[in-house]
Amino acid sequence: MHPLSLKFYFGDSCGHCRRFAKTLEKIEQERANISVSKIAYNPSQHPDIKFIPTVIVFLGNKELGRFSSALAKKDIDNWLHQINEYISDYLVKS
């Protein structure tokens, strides 16, 4: 598995964001290769973020994907598995 960082854009008044934060905490605890950064959303500072919650996944400083929704944990796990396969197949040469 490759080291991935997830940037989680949230709002304090967003109920979906608060519940979804717990899902991301579980994922971070289960996967040693993942770190999650929580970023308080500010439209003037984050013009590329249109909806919250939004999660962006990075390998180093390269964005590999994003989603804007409070997805189920199993869906995120599948998505992260696909990203790791993509990294192994196309980005990291053995």
Q: What is the pLDDT along the chain (94 residues), one digit of tens a residue?
A: 789 999 999 999 999 999 999 999 999 999 999 999 999 999 999 999 999 999 999 999 999 999 999 999 999 999 999 999 999 999 987 5
- Single pTM value for the model: 0.93
Note the helical H segments in 1-94.
15-30, 73-86
Tell which CATH classification among 3.20.20.100, 3.40.50.2300, 3.40.30.10, 3.30.930.10 matches the domain 4-91.
3.40.30.10
Tell me which residue of 39, 37, 35, 36 sits closest to 12, measured CA to CA.
39
What pLDDT does residue 63 have?
97
